[in-house]
Chains A and B, each alone.
Chain A
Amino acid sequence: GALVYQYPRRTICKSGTSMRMECQAVGFQATSVAWYRQSPQKTFELIALSTVNSAIKYEQNFTQEKFPISHPNLSFSSMTVLNAYLEDRGLYLCGARDRISGNTLYFGEGSRLIVV
Chain B
Amino acid sequence: GDSVTQTEGLVTLTEGLPVMLNCTYQTIYSNPFLFWYVQHLNESPRLLLKSFTDNKRTEHQGFHATLHKSSSSFHLQKSSAQLSDSALYYCALSGRYNQGKLIFGQGTKLSIKP
A34 sits at the interface (CB 8 A): yes
Asked if residues B45 and A93 are in contact (CB atoms below 8 Å), the reply is yes
B35 sits at the interface (CB 8 A): yes
Asked if residues A93 and B101 are in contact (CB atoms below 8 Å), the reply is no
Asked if residues B97 and A102 are in contact (CB atoms below 8 Å), the reply is yes
Query: How far is the CB of B101 from the nearest CB of chain A, in Å?
Result: 5
B17 sits at the interface (CB 8 A): no
A93–B94 alpha-carbon span in the complex (Å): 17
Q: Which residues of A contact B97 (CB under 8 A)?
A: 102-103
Within the complex, which residue of B44, B50, B100 is in contact with A93, where a contact is CB–CB below 8 Å? Answer: B44
List the one stretch of B54-62, B63-71, B75-83, B102-110 in contact with chain A. Answer: B102-110
Interface residue tally of chain A, by bracket?
20 to 34
- How many chain B residues touch A (CB < 8 A): the figure is 22
Name the prevailing secondary structure of the B interface residues.
Answer: loop
B90 sits at the interface (CB 8 A): yes
Question: Given A49-B99, A102-B97, A103-B94, do A109 and B104 touch, yes or no (CB 8 Å)?
Answer: no
List the one stretch of A12-20, A39-47, A81-89 in contact with chain B. Answer: A39-47
A105 sits at the interface (CB 8 A): yes
0/1 string, A16-52, CB within 8 A of B gives 1: 0000000000000001111000000011101001010
Asked if residues A105 and B99 are in contact (CB atoms below 8 Å), the reply is no
B46 sits at the interface (CB 8 A): yes
Q: Which residues of A contact B52 (CB under 8 A)?
A: 103
26 inter-chain pairs at a CB distance below 8 angstroms, sorted by A residue, are A6-B44, A31-B100, A32-B99, A32-B100, A34-B101, A42-B88, A43-B104, A43-B107, A44-B90, A46-B102, A49-B100, A91-B44, A93-B45, A95-B100, A102-B98, A103-B52, A103-B94, A103-B98, A103-B99, A103-B102, A104-B35, A105-B35, A105-B100, A105-B102, A107-B44, A109-B44
Name A residues whose Cβ lies closer than 8 Å to a Cβ of B. Answer: 6, 31-34, 42-44, 46, 49, 51, 91, 93, 95, 97, 102-110
